[in-house]
Structure formats: structure tokens, C-alpha cells
């Protein structure tokens, strides 16, 4: 019967997908506008690239299970990362500039912030995570939709994507030694990020 329930929820989810897709579009446009404006004023782009993803019904099910939540629409609204936007910036300071300019916009509400740059995860993972809500305008009225925004540098993104694929390859094989080596890589990368930031500053200000 639980299979039947989940099939029904998947159908309901599909009707909701459009809302999350709309929210992704709104946030992406806001980010692109900020990046364009920056370029015209400061002659450089803080954003390197933007990636977006919509969580699949299957992953939503897995997450509901992980948190022991019932499979219904109410608990689905508890999942805040159905709409995901990843912003890859050139330099560390760009991350905070973009986060600030986005979250201070009048129609955006900041629900949650996790700064894994100031407080890296034990494995060395670094990124700024925001949960924001953005209004989307439908024929039936306005709705506030949550979006998870991950903001990181190119270097942090490089580490995160390789670490992610290594972990997915064989989770049981990530020994303590492998974790330690990955953590060390994250530290080296962080120091390169700082140096690149300094070089950028000295050229832009000098
Ligand atoms: P995937 O496969 O990327 O979708 P929750 O989101 O509720 O499960 P939490 O702790 O509130 O848990 O979320 P958190 O810490 O903000 O992390 C959410 C997302 O950040 C993850 O999504 C990853 O995308 C990314 N992330 C967090 N930690 C790591 C890490 O150590 N390495 C890498 N490569 N990415 C990380 P998902 O849904 O877990 O995974």
C-alpha cells in the first residue's frame, strides 16, 4: 500500500513541479541581473556560472523516509531543497556580495543560512547555503516558494564535485585515510582561493 501512496504523491508532485521551476527561473534571473549590473559598473563578473536542479520525485521520497516524515503534500512542503540553484563565483568575496544583494531584495525572504566557509564541515566541504523564499505569480494568485541557493568559488566547486562523485562511487570504501586526504585537499584549495583573492584585489585596486 505504501507503494500506492507514493505513486499518488508522485503524481501530486508533478503538478507542483511547475511552481518550483518558476521559482528557479525567478532566482536565476535575479542573479543574472546582478551579475550584468556588476559588469557594467565594475567591469568584471562576480559569477562564473549558475547551475540549477529540480529534485526528482524519487529523491524527495528518499528524503521523506530519511526524516521519518509521512508521504504527503504537507511534509513535502517541509523539504526546502526541491528547487536548487548553485552559484559558482570567481572569488570568495563575490560569494558574500551576491548573497547580500540577493537576500536584501524586498521580495526575497531569508529562511536559513549555513556558512560552511567560515565553519567548514569536518571533511573540508566549503559553501554558503541559503534557503530563501521567492514569490511566484500564478493565475490563481501569488505563492511563496522555497529555493536552496548554494554559493561557492570555482575552487570549492571543483573539490565538492569530485568529493561527491568519489563518495557516490563506493560509500563503504571511503576510509579514514581517504577522508583525511580529501580534507587536506580542501585546505590547500582554501589557501589558493585566499591567494587568488589577494592577487585580484591588488590588480583591481592597484
Ligand atoms: P545532493 O546529492 O547534492 O542533492 P538536508 O538538506 O536537510 O539533507 P542539511 O544538513 O540541512 O541536510 O543540508 P546541508 O548541510 O545544507 O547540505 C545540503 C546539500 O549541500 C547537499 O545536498 C549537497 O548538495 C551539499 N553538501 C553538503 N555537504 C556536502 C559534502 O560534504 N560534500 C559535497 N560534495 N556536498 C555537500 P544533498 O541532498 O545531501 O545531496
Question: 52-97, pLDDT tens digit by residue?
Answer: 999 998 898 899 999 999 887 788 888 999 999 999 999 999 999 9
Give residue 157's pLDDT. 98
Domain layout of the chain by residue ranges: 2-153
CA–centroid distance, 73 to ligand 1, in Å, is 22
Q: Does residue 131 contact residue 140 with C-beta atoms inside 8 Å?
A: no
Average pLDDT over residues 193-200: 96
Beta bridge partners of 138: 141
Q: Is the pLDDT reported for residue 11 higher than 50?
A: yes
pLDDT band at 4 (very low <50, low <70, confident <90, very high): low
CA of 203 from ligand 1 middle (Å) equals 35
Q: What are the angstrom distances between the C-alpha of 168 and each of 33, 49, 162, 163, 171?
A: 35, 24, 10, 9, 6
Q: 133: number of CA atoms within 13 Å, CB side? A: 11
Q: What pLDDT, on the 0 to 100 scale, is given for residue 171?
A: 66
Distance, C-alpha 35 to centroid of its chain? 17
206 pLDDT above the threshold of 90: no
The per-residue pLDDT of the chain, averaged, comes to: 91
DSSP state of 197: H
CATH number of 2-153: 3.30.460.10
- Count of residues for the chain? 206
Helix axes 92-103, 2-42, angle to 10 degrees: 110
Pairing of strands 141-153, 47-54: unpaired
**What distance in Å separates the CA atoms of residue 165 and residue 177, rounded to the nearest whole number?**
17
Widest CA span of the chain, in angstroms?
68
Convert the pLDDT of each residue in 155-196 to its tens digit.
999 999 999 988 877 666 668 888 899 999 999 999 999 999
Residue to probe by mutation, ligand 1, list 125, 161, 182, most atoms within 8 Å of CB: 125
For residue 123, which atom of ligand 1 is closest to its CA?
31
Amino acid at each position: 500500500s505504501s507503494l500506492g501512496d507514493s505513486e499518488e504523491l508522485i503524481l501530486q508532485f508533478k503538478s507542483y513541479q511547475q511552481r518550483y521551476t518558476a521559482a528557479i527561473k525567478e532566482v536565476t534571473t535575479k542573479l543574472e541581473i546582478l551579475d550584468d549590473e556588476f559588469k557594467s559598473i565594475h567591469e568584471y563578473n562576480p559569477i562564473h556560472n549558475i547551475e540549477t536542479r529540480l529534485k526528482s520525485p524519487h529523491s524527495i521520497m528518499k528524503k521523506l523516509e530519511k526524516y521519518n516524515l509521512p508521504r504527503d503534500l504537507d511534509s513535502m512542503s517541509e523539504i526546502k531543497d526541491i528547487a536548487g540553484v548553485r552559484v559558482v563565483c570567481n572569488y570568495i568575496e563575490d560569494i558574500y556580495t551576491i548573497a547580500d544583494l540577493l537576500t536584501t531584495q524586498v521580495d526575497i525572504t531569508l529562511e536559513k543560512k549555513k556558512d560552511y566557509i567560515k565553519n567548514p564541515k569536518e571533511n573540508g566541504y566549503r559553501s554558503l547555503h541559503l534557503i530563501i523564499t521567492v514569490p511566484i505569480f500564478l493565475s490563481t494568485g501569488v505563492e511563496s516558494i522555497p529555493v536552496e541557493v548554494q554559493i561557492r568559488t570555482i575552487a570549492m566547486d571543483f573539490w565538492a564535485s569530485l568529493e561527491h562523485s568519489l563518495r557516490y562511487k563506493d560509500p563503504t570504501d571511503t576510509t579514514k585515510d581517504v577522508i583525511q586526504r580529501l580534507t587536506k585537499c580542501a585546505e590547500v584549495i582554501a589557501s589558493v582561493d585566499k591567494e587568488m583573492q589577494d592577487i585580484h584585489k591588488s590588480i583591481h585596486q592597484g
